[in-house]
Chains A and B, each alone.
Chain A
Amino acid sequence: MSALLELEHLSVTFETPQGPVHAVQDVSLTIEGGSIVGLVGESGCGKSTLGRAILRLLPENATVAGSVRFAGRDVLALSPKEIRDLRGRNLAMIFQDPMTRLNPLMRIRDHFIETIRAHNPAVKSGQALERAKKVLADVRVPSDRLGMYPHELSGGMRQRVMIALCLLFKPALLIADEPTTALDVILEAQILQLLQSIMHEYSMSVLLITHNLGLVAEFSDRVAVMYAGRIAEEGATPPLFREPRHPYTQGLLRSVIDLETTSLYSVPGEPPSLLGETAGCPFYPRCDKRMAVCETVYPEPRLVGEDHRKVACHLY
């Protein structure tokens, strides 16, 4: 296994009228070929921004620092044409809201034809439709849906269509940004099982961005826990869930509903504003194990324990 995607010291800053917002700060993360990496965190912690930064989909007021290496290529240095070729072909992304991700005025078949022609303008529509039928079969969508408009499909069907559009060129990495948040629980499991099975078929890696710890525990090989734009803890899934080291991860895992107890734990306080510069550990105000040093010095992530887990905390 080799590193497919390497993020090194990646930071994303948005220029806003109120000042710079540090949405992602100094994130380093590696995704190996053929694995599912879960990226968890609460709303607004920068996880979607991180996903978009990899595909260079951020708006113009965003500045990106650090490096993104995908299959050995420096993504941030690619020309507009090169990044277009990469998107959809090697690196694909599905989103949270499948209901609005398809052009309402275009039939499903035309979505496939357009996507194929975007990378390969010479393909005849007949050939394109053949390929569309193959990938639709892989995501278990009947091929008669090709003639329909997006509004004639359910949310789950639309997300499957989105996945199929991403699969057309067998990308090496699929970024799934909360792919099931808008869907109900039964569909959630179906879509993720689908992702897991096609992942093996297509030998594809997945970056699963979600706030749902259960999904990550069940489906991902590695987990990165994000807090206030930084990675708090990162490591292989089973040990991380068995023995969380960062106080934030511990709090997160305690706040999962447990049927044995009646009370529901929640991490006290609120996540900090990402506006302006911050010193010290961003979790300091909410941490129950805080020390004097935490307020002034940011704990650089270090490898901890036998499982070489990366933890950003002064406790270790």
Chain B
Amino acid sequence: MAGWFARGRTSLVGRLIGTFLGQSRTIAGILVWIGLGVVLTILVLALLAPFIAPFDPNTKVASPELPPGGAFLMGTDRGGQDVLSRIIWGSRVPLAIIAVSTTISLALGLPLGLVSGFAGGRMDRGILLVMDSIYAFPGLLLAIAIAAVIGRGILNISFAIAVVYIPTYFRVIRNHVTSVKQEPYVEAAVALGMPRRRVIGRYILPNVAQSIPVIFSVNAADAVLTEAGLAVLGLGLPPGIPDWGFDISLNWQRFDVSWWATFFPGLFILILTTALTFVGEGLNDILNPLLRKREYKAGAQA
């Protein structure tokens, strides 16, 4: 299958998948598989929430703060709501935020990085300055500020997280472009009369694309944490939408009485971010040629 992807497809995505599949038996490849498995499981939970969740997440179904066991596998919280059902429904929030925020930051950061890196000169300086000033703010602080100004809601939070991540895509892509544009094949393409748009799209983008999945997964992991952080601080989603971060903020003061109502949402935040980090770390090893070369060398000596 790896061979089919590597040889049969010229498309960008096909090539990246091919590279990954070719390396899928290495430690890095296994990390990626584990991470993907966990993320996909949570995605299935989120999609099938109405059928899987035993209770309605927003109604009082039993007395408050029942310990885990019996009909309530993870107990009930301060409001007498089933913790497990809230976790299952709550998985929709981080996934939706990942989807929206990464799309926005990729859609802005990638083209800006390509153009800025390729054009160079004053335009590059200008864009860099703007991006660096965004980057200089601590991410969560900036997200708090943006969330405080534009208010609550999945789209608003995603936008706040996206703004924080645009400079990361921009920086990595831009720096990669400045080195790839010096490649002899780029000059040869220009000498053949290739217009700028084609040089960027067909000669530069494919050669910098391997950076994208790595930032993407780090971005996704960070988005989950930032969203939970905003929720804990009370800047999260409006009440009524089950959300892991919100549940922590609701229950953490009662931790010594009903630890389960705080512990389980926290555990799921940890699992999801760890899984996404696995994907990012593994892909970094696989798609970054310098790291890969080192691995070959070690293999040859063994």
Partners in one complex: yes
> Which residues of chain A from 141 to 173 have a CB within 8 Å of any chain B CB?
162, 165-166
Q: Does B120 contact A (CB under 8 A)?
A: yes
Q: Which residue of A89, A95, A103 is within 8 Å of B202 (Cβ)?
A: A103
Q: Does B195 contact A (CB under 8 A)?
A: yes
Say whether A102 contacts B188, CB under 8 Å: yes
With contact pairs A100-B184, A101-B184, A104-B185 given, residues A87 and B206 touching in the complex (Cβ less than 8 Å): no
| Chain B CB within 10 Å, residue with most, of A89, A104, A106, A166 | A106
A147 to chain B: closest CB distance in Å? 9
Contact between chains at A103 and B184 (CB < 8 Å): no
- What is the distance, in angstroms, from B188's C-beta to the closest C-beta of chain A? 4
Given contacts A55-B191, A106-B202, 18 further A-B contacts (CB under 8 A): A60-B121, A84-B194, A85-B193, A89-B193, A95-B191, A100-B184, A102-B185, A103-B185, A103-B189, A103-B203, A105-B207, A110-B202, A114-B194, A114-B198, A115-B193, A118-B198, A165-B192, A166-B192
**In chain A, what residue has the closest Cβ to B184?**
A100
Which 4 residue pairs spanning A and B have beta carbons closest together? Answer: A88-B193, A88-B192, A87-B193, A100-B184
Residues of chain B lying within 8 A (CB to CB) of residue A85: 193
**Which residues from chain A contact B207 at a C-beta distance below 8 Å?**
103-105
- Whether B190 and A106, one on each chain, are in contact in the complex, defined by CB atoms closer than 8 angstroms, is no
In the complex with contacts A103-B207, A118-B198, A95-B188 CB distance below 8 A: yes
**Residue B183 CB within 8 A of the other chain:** yes
Query: Is A119 part of the contact surface with B, judged by Cβ < 8 Å?
Result: yes
Q: Are B188 and A118 in contact, CB atoms less than 8 angstroms apart? A: no
Are A60's CB and B192's CB within 8 A? no
| B contact residues, range | 20 to 34
Q: Which residue of B lies closest to A115 (CB)?
A: B192
Whole-angstrom distance from the CB of A53 to the nearest CB of chain B? 13
Flag if A97 contacts B191 (CB, 8 Å). no
User: Which chain B residue has the least Cβ–Cβ distance from A168?
Assistant: B192
Q: By the criterion CB–CB under 8 Å, are A87 and B185 in contact?
A: no
Does B295 touch A at the CB level, under 8 Å? Answer: no
Q: How far is the CA of A277 from the CA of B121 in the complex (A)?
A: 28
CB of B90 to closest CB in A, whole Å = 41
Mask of B1-27 contacts with A, CB within 8 angstroms, 1/0? 000000000100001000000000000
Q: Contacts A60-B121, A97-B184, A100-B185; is A106 near B191 (CB within 8 Å)? A: no
Q: How far is the CA of A85 from the CA of B193 in the complex (A)?
A: 6
Alpha-carbon distance A60/B121, docked complex (angstroms): 9
Q: Say yes or no for A314: interface residue by CB 8 A criterion.
A: no
Give B11 Cβ to nearest chain A Cβ, in Å: 11
B-contact bits for A110-146, CB 8 A (1 contact / 0 none) = 1000110111000000000000000000000000000
* Chain B residue at minimum C-beta to C-beta distance from A118: B194
Partner of A87, one of B121, B184, B191, B203: B191
In the complex, the chain A residue whose C-beta lies closest to that of B190 is: A57
Q: Kindly state whether residue A223 has any CB partner on chain B within 8 Å.
A: no
Cα(A115)–Cα(B185), bound, Å: 13
Tell me if A12 counts as interface (CB < 8 A to partner B): no
Instruction: Say if the beta carbon of A86 comes within 8 Å of chain B.
Output: yes
Q: How far is the CA of A118 from the CA of B206 in the complex (A)?
A: 18
Inter-chain CA distance A119–B198, complex, in Å, is 11
Task: Name the distance in Å between A4's Cβ and chain B's nearest Cβ.
Answer: 18
Residues of A within 8 A of B10 (CB): 106-107, 110
Q: Is B187 located at the chain interface by the 8 A CB criterion?
A: yes
A93 on interface, CB distance cutoff 8 Å = yes
CB distance from A109 to the nearest CB of B (A): 9
Assess whether A92 is interfacial by the CB under 8 Å rule. Answer: yes
Q: Within 8 Å CB of A114, what residues of B?
A: 189, 194, 198, 202
Give Cα distance in the complex from A166 to B193, angstroms.
Answer: 10
A97 to B10 alpha-carbon distance, docked (Å): 25
Contact (Cβ within 8 A) A119 B193: yes
Chain B residues with Cβ under 8 A from A102's Cβ? 185, 188
